[in-house]
């Protein structure tokens, strides 16, 4: 058993802890990504730090008492996606994750993000049955974050001269 804020005790195998662990793992992957960014990408450093701070707020809301608000807007991510996509060629094939180490780290973070999103959705389904409501904000944010990380990987490969590695 473990304690959550607000005095709740849950089993170490509770789906809520699985969610918190997946978000923590995602946050660590983004920290790794920040550490391998090309030196010229200082704006991305700040952008990714903001993402990490948002993930901490999401975790806090998800482990807090039932009904804790979590309204993290994906608008900042959407703007960043638009900014980077303007400079990228259109996708014509599936991509193979890889390229520059920072792009590879972004792809890894993207896959962990997708898992965290699935875990939050699973928890929301489970909690419906117990009348505890999981905030909707985290799912929307994580969904856009995975898209952001995909576009970021492509952007990082482009600016480092690696380009996309596609299946065809």
Domain boundaries, the chain: 2-159
Helix H or strand E segment including 3 = strand 2-3
153-166 residue pLDDT tens: 999 999 999 888 87
Global confidence as pTM? 0.90
Residue partners of 13: CB distance under 8 A and separation at least 6: none
Query: By the 8 A CB rule, do 14 and 7 touch?
Result: no
- Tell me what the pLDDT averaged over the chain comes to: 88
CATH number corresponding to 2-159: 1.20.1200.10
12-42 residue pLDDT tens: 888 888 999 999 999 999 999 999 999 877 8
Query: What's the average model confidence in pLDDT over 131-151?
Result: 86
Q: What is the reported pLDDT for 60?
A: 86
Query: By the 8 A CB rule, do 43 and 15 touch?
Result: no
């Amino acid at each position: 058993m473990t304690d959550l804020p607000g005095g709740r005790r849950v089993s170490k195998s509770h789906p809520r802890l699985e969610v918190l662990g997946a978000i923590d793992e995602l946050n660590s992957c983004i920290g790794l990504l920040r550490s391998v960014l090309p030196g010229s990408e200082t704006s991305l450093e700040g952008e990714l730090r903001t993402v990490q701070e948002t993930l901490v707020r999401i975790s806090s809301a998800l482990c807090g008492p039932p009904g804790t608000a979590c309204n993290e807007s994906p608008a900042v991510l959407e703007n960043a996606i638009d900014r980077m996509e303007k400079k990228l060629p259109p996708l014509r094939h599936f991509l193979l994750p890889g390229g520059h180490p920072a792009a590879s780290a972004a792809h890894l973070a993207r896959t962990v993000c997708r898992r965290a999103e699935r875990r939050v959705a699973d928890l929301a389904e489970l909690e419906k049955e117990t009348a505890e409501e999981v905030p909707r904000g985290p799912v929307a944010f994580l969904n856009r974050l995975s898209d952001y990380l995909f576009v970021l990987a492509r952007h990082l490969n482009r600016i480092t001269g690696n380009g996309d590695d596609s299946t065809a």
